[in-house]
Amino acid sequence: MTWATSPFSGSGPIVGDLGEIGLLQTIRSILGDVSPPSPQGIGDDCATFTPPPGEKLLLTTDPVVLGIHFTATDPAAKAGAKLLKRNLSDIASMGGKPGPALLAFAMGPDLQTDWLVAFVEGLATACREYGVPLVGGDITSASQGTFIANLTQTGTASRPVLRRGAKPASPISVTGSLGGSFQGRHLDFIPRLQEGQFLATLGNLLSMTDLSDGLAKDLPGLLPPGTSASLDTSAIPLSADASSLDAAFCDGEDYELLFTLEPGTLLQDWPFATQCTKIGEIIQSGEREPLLDSQTGNPLRFHKPGYAHFHS
């Protein structure tokens, strides 16, 4: 279902009519089997969670905010699913498996109840798809016209993969295709959990991150001091919606995996249908510029440095 104008306009009931208790009961009824009983789920001040033996605990948190991460006319169910999937992308980038999650809302009393129901239904469907239990959270009232949903996602990994670890001469690769995500793909992407878990088993994987803010911003975070990324711009895998190379570097919200390998090694026996492309390598450069064109050696510069909050 889509809303032609706003989740805050319409003739139906609003969440302010339900009150806090009624709102909680509505959300819990929608979640159903996604929310386990206490103490592993809702019912106590905290939920309990024991990681598998030998696994390290992963923690991440990301929101979706109306007007920032989705629009008023986007399907509410897809916005709910995006809340989970963008958090799972962080777990994927560490080579992890998802665990329980906590959900927190801040919303205006004028929010249409039917819109919120659709949002939670989309979130619950995604939780079932990826095996994520929602074990608690919080609701707070906010000013009219406000909707923010935040998820705190746990995960586990026997060997979490970090952003730091690459070396000079490390090959740089990326999954999927890049750019043009806000043509709709930012709501329909698949978090690369299986790919991340597979890569984490490779003895030659050095570092990894997910591409949430664009290559221009996320790739420099993988570079060791005194190095640059020498990139083959012709190899950058552009999506069908990317308007230019600039889009692949700056649009953000691709949620693909960007990773580096040991110098002199290749990625072999890739078992997924997901495209995987080598786009360059790390070189010693004295940090004169983070991104260089491998053909000319010239700096790669774009209209903005990827997505950044509070940056117009």
The pLDDT tens digits for 6-28 are 899 887 899 999 998 999 999 99
Instruction: Determine the Cα–Cα distance for residues 288 and 307; give it in Å rounded to an integer.
Output: 22
The more confidently predicted of residues 6 and 297 is 297
Query: Which helix (DSSP H) or strand (DSSP E) does residue 123 occupy?
Result: helix 113-130
| pLDDT tens, residue by residue, 111-155 | 999 999 999 999 999 999 999 999 999 999 999 999 999 999 999
**DSSP 3-state assignment of 99?**
strand
| pLDDT tens, residue by residue, 243-282 | 999 999 999 999 999 999 999 999 989 999 999 999 999 9
**Position 24: which residue type?**
L
Can you read off the two tokens belonging to residue 95?
Answer: 């080579």
CA separation, residue 101 to residues 93, 96, 97, 208, 236 (Å): 17, 14, 12, 23, 34
Q: Which of 251, 229, 15 is nearest to 119 (CA)?
A: 15
Over 70: is that where the pLDDT of 310 sits? no
Beta strands in 211-289 (DSSP E): 227-231, 257-261, 276-284
Tell me the sheet residues that pair with 284.
Answer: 227
- Ramachandran category for residue 136: left, alpha or beta (phi over 0 → left; psi -120 to 50 → alpha): left
Instruction: Determine the Cα–Cα distance for residues 300 and 229; give it in Å rounded to an integer.
Output: 10
Tell me the sheet residues that pair with 63.
Answer: 150
**Percent of the residues in the chain that have a pLDDT greater than 70, as a whole number:** 95
**Position 276: which residue type?**
C
| First-residue to last-residue Cα distance in the chain | 31
Tell me the sheet residues that pair with 171.
Answer: 281
Tell me the sheet residues that pair with 60.
Answer: 153
- Average confidence (pLDDT) over 92-108: 97
Over 90: is that where the pLDDT of 312 sits? no
- Sheet strand arrangement including 56-65: 56-65, 147-157, 97-107, 134-141
pTM of this prediction exceeds 0.85: yes
Peptide bond before residue 39 is cis, with ω within 30 degrees of 0: yes
Q: Which of 163, 157, 169 is nearest to 259 (CA)?
A: 163
Q: In which band, very low, low, confident or very high, does the pLDDT at 203 lie, cut at 50, 70 and 90?
A: very high
Instruction: Determine the Cα–Cα distance for residues 245 and 232; give it in Å rounded to an integer.
Output: 12
- Average confidence (pLDDT) over 194-207: 97
Answer whether 216's CB lies under 8 Å from 290's CB: no
Cβ-Cβ contacts under 8 Å for 25 (sequence gap 6 or more): none
